[in-house]
Amino acid sequence: METRIYVAGRWESGSVVNENRNPSDTSDVIGVFSHADSGLLAEALEAAQQAQKKWWAAGIQKRHDVLMAIGNELMARAEEIGQLVSREEGKPLAEGKGEVYRAGQFFTYFAAEALRLTGDFAESVRANISIDVRREPVGVVAIVSPWNFPVATPAWKIAPALAFGNAVVWKPADLTPASAVALTEIIARQDIPAGLFNLVMGSGSKLGRALVSNKAVSAISFTGSVPVGRDIASLAIQNMAKMQMEMGSKNPLVVMDDADMNLAIDVAVQAAFGGTGQKCTAASRIIVHKAVHDEFVEKFANAARALTVGHALDSTTQIGPVVSASQLKQNLEYIALGKSEGAELICGGEALERQTKGYFMAPAVFAGTRNSMRINQEEMFAPISCVIMADSYTEALHIANDTEFGLTAGIMTNRLSIANHFRANSRSGCVMVNLPTAGTDYHVPFGGRAASSYGPREQGTYAAEFYTTVKTSYVANGSPE
């Protein structure tokens, strides 16, 4: 068996076998990957605890240099690794390459952040005492990541974890093991203590749960669905582990009566169908002012029909397959549910046949939907977009905020007063004006509110909040005599 699990500085073969196939062409086997058992997990955690101390002692220049090397290699190999991501996950090649390049930028950004680990000095309220407030690593960080950004999401967690002196045990999604191995190979080749970085593959329900319940784990960074987030939180609280969780959403995009219609269509198409709609930041509820509603629905549906759905590695493809057979089945069930709830399916929503056998689906637009419908309340993670008509801006804002989630929200308008009101009153973690709800920068915080997020923000300088712990240190100054 091939060796694809990386534990305590060694590649290991593991046990249960997971055959990984291309969602654009199910006859294409990307590789056979194995699962780590509880023995390998225990070894990873033990090695991580030892290695973390050495890594912290190695100092900021070393940490900077290692992260910079990882980032530069990812950027230089974005084309090659991007192909693998597209083959494995199903996103079009341009998106696969873009993702890997972005992953590199997370590492180079946090390479520099490693050098900026500063603290505070304070005078004491007592005589002859001085105080400093410093940041220290939290220890061993468990990272549990989803399949939809199989390189970028782990990168924005691994980079700050290592930059601030922590060790990492990473469990990637079972659907995207090849991307996980590609990233791990780059990290494993660096001059780092054995055990500082570990890749343990396995199912979420077994290995994922075992990892997040282990006492050796001081902090858990998770991206995935809300139910899994809840399960992880209930396990992790037993050990009082620190938690950072980024979960699902049901992001609104409001289209106002004064919006530039062509731009609104472009933005809605990108936000709803980019990445086959499988983005936590996707716009799945399009809330349109009644004055432009009919025009918008017609043009939006025409644009959705015009999208080329096909093999992710075909250069003409705009929308790749969905990730798996079970995802496709669930998407088609949501189409049936929407119809049964009384929504009008304007276009798409059916499985498509292409030259290769894959999980292709025509991007769907529902109109005549109400916000209370399940298709507007539940995250579908699919190329399915629902249009909701609003009588006024006030009603549109109310609908936008009427959700259990709160990751991103967008508005299309040319009125400054409305744009600013929406920026101030949208109950979301990221808000966009005249831009898609998906697509964020790497140097500023990312995260949501309500059921979409829990714990400190990811990315930018805010990442230090989660990946470090603060120590307040007092010293009596004594007397020089």
> Which residues of the chain form contacts with ligand NAP (CB under 6 A)?
144-148, 171-175, 203-205, 208-209, 212, 223-225, 228, 231-232, 246-248, 280, 379, 381, 407, 452
The tokens of 206 are what?
A: 């077994």
Our CB check for ligand NAP shows the closer of 142 and 399 to be 142
Q: Catalytic residues, which ones? A: 246, 280
Our CB check for ligand NAP shows the closer of 178 and 280 to be 280
Cα-based distances in Å from 325 to 234, 247, 299, 331, 335 = 30, 22, 30, 10, 16
Our CB check for ligand NAP shows the closer of 154 and 193 to be 154
Our CB check for ligand NAP shows the closer of 251 and 317 to be 251
Q: Beta-strand (E) ranges in 326-383?
A: 344-347, 351-352, 360-361, 364-367
145-167 b/e (C-beta count within 10 Å ≥ 16 → b): bbbbbbbbbbbbbbbbbbbbbbb
Cβ–Cβ < 8 Å for 204, 191: no
d(CA 393, CA 255): 9
Give the CA angle between residues 28, 31, 35 to the nearest 5°.
Answer: 140
Give the shortest CB-157-to-ligand NAP separation in angstroms: 10
Give the shortest CB-220-to-ligand NAP separation in angstroms: 9
Give the shortest CB-439-to-ligand NAP separation in angstroms: 13
Our CB check for ligand NAP shows the closer of 168 and 280 to be 280
Give the shortest CB-86-to-ligand NAP separation in angstroms: 17
d(CA 310, CA 241): 43
Residues forming a β-bridge with 367? 344
Listed residue (275, 234, 270) closest to 253, CA to CA: 270
φ, ψ of residue 438 to 5 degrees: the values are: -100, 155
Our CB check for ligand NAP shows the closer of 212 and 243 to be 212
Give the CA angle between residues 96, 102, 108 to the nearest 5°.
Answer: 145
Our CB check for ligand NAP shows the closer of 135 and 209 to be 209
Give the shortest CB-187-to-ligand NAP separation in angstroms: 18
Listed residue (406, 149, 412) closest to 275, CA to CA: 149
Cβ–Cβ < 8 Å for 384, 404: no
- Which residue, chain included where needed, has tokens 């399949």? 147
Residue number with the shortest CB distance to ligand NAP?
Answer: 204
Our CB check for ligand NAP shows the closer of 138 and 236 to be 236
Burial of residue 308, with CB atoms counted within 10 A of its CB: 0-12 exposed, 13-18 middle, 19 or more buried: exposed
- For the chain, helix, strand, coil in percent to 5 are 40, 25, 35
98-114 b/e (C-beta count within 10 Å ≥ 16 → b): bbbbbbbbbbbbbbebb
Give the shortest CB-380-to-ligand NAP separation in angstroms: 10
* Region of residue 455 (phi > 0: left; psi between -120 and 50: alpha; otherwise: beta): left
Give the shortest CB-114-to-ligand NAP separation in angstroms: 23
Our CB check for ligand NAP shows the closer of 234 and 308 to be 234
The tokens of 234 are what?
A: 């209930």
Give the shortest CB-163-to-ligand NAP separation in angstroms: 20
Give the shortest CB-83-to-ligand NAP separation in angstroms: 21
d(CA 126, CA 476): 10
